[in-house]
Amino acid sequence: MRRLLLALPFALLPLAVAQAAEVHDHEHASLGAHEHGVGRLNAVLDGQTLELELESPAMNLVGFEHAASSAEDKAKVAAVRARLEQPLTLFSLPEAARCVVSQQELESPLFGDTPHADEHDDDDHATDGKGAASKEHHPDHSEIHAHYQFTCAAPGALKTLDLANVFKTFPATRKIQVQLISPSAQQGAEVTANAAALKF
């Protein structure tokens, strides 16, 4: 059921994604590539429901991708998780929209989660034959996935999606590739700290 709202409309976005990709060279065009400094955000506004799904290399948010073993590393992971657990602040949703978090889910190997093979790996080499993730997947390239669902009493007040706070909170994030669907727009765009807002 998770990501159902996101999965259906994003099937309709190939043109917007293709247009955004034309601006960049082939290496940076893939929305699924693990690239330090680059995050991905899917956003869907449907009626009173707003869904946001943020995916980022752990390096952008925590500063490393290895399992946290030292007290300092564990503290960094805990601090990042605490920030991600405050999505109304992180995404600067306007108070006038009266949005409340109805569901949120954070996943990362750094949080002690095991990657779900059905979500990220769709080929046979996802495991080493003994059920363990192969080295070319998550161990060297840890990601953090945050999925939020909001119920907004006044969705008309959501005029823009402002990601400035994401860039301020996680300064190692240089750009975010966004796919946004709302009743009035379907767009694929790349935002930076200097141009961090998109219109719904």
* Domain extent listing, the chain: 4-24+37-115+132-199
Q: Is 142 exposed, middle or buried (0-12, 13-18, 19+ CB in 10 A)?
A: buried
Using 50, 70 and 90 to split pLDDT, how confident is the model at 114? low
Higher pLDDT, 29 or 174: 174
Q: Is the pLDDT of residue 46 over 90?
A: yes
Please compute the mean of the pLDDT values over residues 70-93 and round it to a whole number. 93
Contacts of 137 (CB under 8 A, 6+ apart): 115, 120, 121, 126
- pTM of the predicted model, to two decimals? 0.73
Taking the C-alpha atoms of residue 64 and residue 116, their distance in angstroms, rounded to an integer, is: 21
Q: What is the dihedral of CA 64, 66, 69, 73, to 10 degrees?
A: 10
Parallel, antiparallel, or unpaired: how do β-strands 99-107 and 175-182 relate?
Answer: unpaired
Q: Is the pLDDT of residue 13 over 60?
A: no
Amino acid at 43: A
Please compute the mean of the pLDDT values over residues 83-108 and round it to a whole number. 95
Share of the chain above pLDDT 90, in %: 55
Partners of 178 in beta bridges: 41, 189
Mean pLDDT, the chain, integer: 78
